A = this chain, B = another copy of it.
Amino acid sequence: MTTIPIVRVESHWRGTSDCLSCSFRSVALFADLTEEDFANIHAPIDDLFYRAQSTLFREDERALGVFTIRNGMVKLVRTTGDGRSRIVRVLRQGEALGLEALATGSYDHHAIALLDTTLCRIPLSVIHALSQNSKNLHKPLMQKWHQALRQADDWLADLNFGSARQRVANLALQMRDPLQTGQVQLFSREDMGAILNLQQETVSRELRTLVREGVLRQCDSQSRQFEILLLEALQRAASGT
**A interface list, Cβ under 8 A from B:** 78, 80-82, 84, 86, 88, 99-100, 102-104, 108-109, 131-132, 135, 138, 141-143, 145-146, 148-150, 152-153, 155-158, 160-162, 166, 170, 197, 238-241
Bound CA–CA A99/B148 (angstroms):
13
* Sample of 5 further A-B pairs with CB below 8 A, known A108-B153, A161-B197: A81-B238, A84-B161, A88-B156, A103-B146, A108-B150
Nearest Cβ on chain B to A129's Cβ, whole angstroms: 12
Say yes or no: A157 contacts B103, CB within 8 Å.
no
In the complex this chain forms, how many copies of it are found? 2
Overall SS of chain A's interface:
helix
Cβ-neighbour of A103 out of B132, B142, B161 (below 8 A): B142
Cβ-neighbour of A146 out of B100, B109, B132, B143 (below 8 A): B100
Knowing A155-B156, A161-B84, the reply to whether A150 touches B100 (Cβ < 8 A) is yes
